[in-house]
Structure 1
Amino acid sequence: MSVNLRKEVNETHSSRNSVHRLRAQNARRFSHQVMMQTDSMTQEVWGRPPPADWAAPRVPPAHAPLNPPRANMPRQSENLPKDPRMWSREHVVMWLRHMASRHQMQINAPHLRFPMNGKALCLMNVDMFLQRVPVGGKTLYKDFQLRLSRAMYLQAQTASKC
């Protein structure tokens, strides 16, 4: 590597580092300004400085639901047969709508994306779910597999009791 090229590379790295340093300084300065404004507003409202342990109110994370589901609300999945292998096409659509509302997923035209009954869903792998629903297909697959394994376990338990 020539000397001129080394100098250019070093200058590029140093300028990148200085840009990162400036961004970090600006971010710290901005957050300090916001804190000072919040403290001064608090002092204006209360007539005294805020307590030492006072913190600004936190905004909930973006992934947190605004209205969490209530425990006493009836679930749509209660109307489904316990064994997914017994589901009709209508049951599959009901399950998809339930999952979409429960997990804030967007499933457009579920009857067209999944024109099948429960037995056909049993034959699908995770990639097939992801093809039909790219965002949320893995969640659908896991939920379906849990329901299927629960039904098979209950079936084996009742068979062993006989």
Structure 2
Amino acid sequence: MASREERVYLSVGSNIHPRVQNIQQALSRLRAVNGVNVIDESHWYETQPWGKRDQANFYNVSVSLTTNLTPEELLDELHTIEQAGHRQRLVHWGPRTIDLDIIFWGDRQINTATLTIPHAQAAKRNFVLLPTAEIAKTDVLVGPQVAQLIAANQDQSWIKKVRNVSELDD
């Protein structure tokens, strides 16, 4: 019996100049990873910082992909992309050049020392749920999870869809 192909959903964000370029470079690097096939990308959103408000606004986008990598291998690839984008982990929920998080992996539930799927904070974050909902509507495994989380979500932070990425200023 063939295994079903599961979609993986990532949240990608940046709030350190140049935000647009940081995200575009990360997405380009992601598309170049062997064993990763990017399927869809949400609109871009400008979002209020979550958790630690005294910092610049973020640009965020959600991406869906399929992969033959294990969750741990994909996480390693995402960390490599973050390092290439000069990501520094100095302040919890602080500013970042680039942030790539695995949010959903089909209907899998993973809880290890280095990885929790679904993402532990996804249910509390508009900037994760709303862009992901946009691209997961027809996904029978993830779409219902996202809809349920949105229905229960109490995040009051604002999120604005960006009409045209090329018009964004940094």
Larger radius of gyration: 1
User: Which one has a larger percent helix, Structure 1 or Structure 2?
Assistant: 1
Higher relative contact order (CA 8 A, sep 6+): 2
TM-score range, shorter chain: under 0.3
TM-score normalized with structure 1 length: 0.24
